[in-house]
Amino acid sequence: MQIKSETGLMKILFVCMGNICRSPTAEGAMRRRLEEQGLHELVRVDSAGTHGYHVGEPPDIRTQRAAKARGLDLSRLRGRQVAPRDFDEFDLILAMDGHNLELLKQQCPSWHQAKLKRLLEYRQAGSEADVPDPYYGGPKGFELVLDLVDEAVQGLIEDLKRQGLGAGRKTS
């Protein structure tokens, strides 16, 4: 992964199936961590779904409730589907699970395949490869998603810092 040289702005897309649970949670968690570390002007984040089930809809109310309890407001986010231009525009495209990663690989031009990864590759501890879909489960599933995503986005930021993101920049 490389930070785009023409703008210096890193662009990251989080992807799940419908873009109403896991990927908006990752987008919100990443935004908060970047703001906390004074890096929010250096990284642009977005989220999308591999399917168009919920285009234009806000995140699932259960996702919003669980996030709100941890100080994340996801209410302004709206679902969208991955578009062909996303593979050109984003530097890193992070799938929430293996199934959605495979769907992305099928759509992605060969010259952009290296941009595709699973979010949990950035998690420092644990053996989970996938962020589980909480949609058909109970409230604990949404809490688990928040835990996994928050750990992974912090690991992602640490990785970006090792690559020079924010180097020479004062953070508050």
Contacts 24+ apart (CB under 8 A), 147-151: 148/120, 148/123, 149/22, 149/25, 149/26, 149/29, 149/119, 150/29, 150/33, 151/123, 151/124, 151/125, 151/126
The residue from 21, 22, 86, 97 that is catalytic is 22
Rounded distance, CA 25 to CA 9, Å? 22
Number of helices (H), then strands (E), in the chain: 5, 4
Question: Out of 16, 32, 46, 86, which one is annotated catalytic?
Answer: 16
How many Å from the N-terminal Cα to the C-terminal Cα in the chain? 26
SS3 category, 41: coil
CA atoms within 13 A on the CB side of 113: 7
Catalytic residue among 60, 97, 133, 150: 133
Residue that the structure tokens 């419908």 belong to: 18
Cα(3)–Cα(7) distance, integer angstroms: 9
133 is catalytic: yes
22 has catalytic annotation? yes
What residues act catalytically? 16, 22, 133
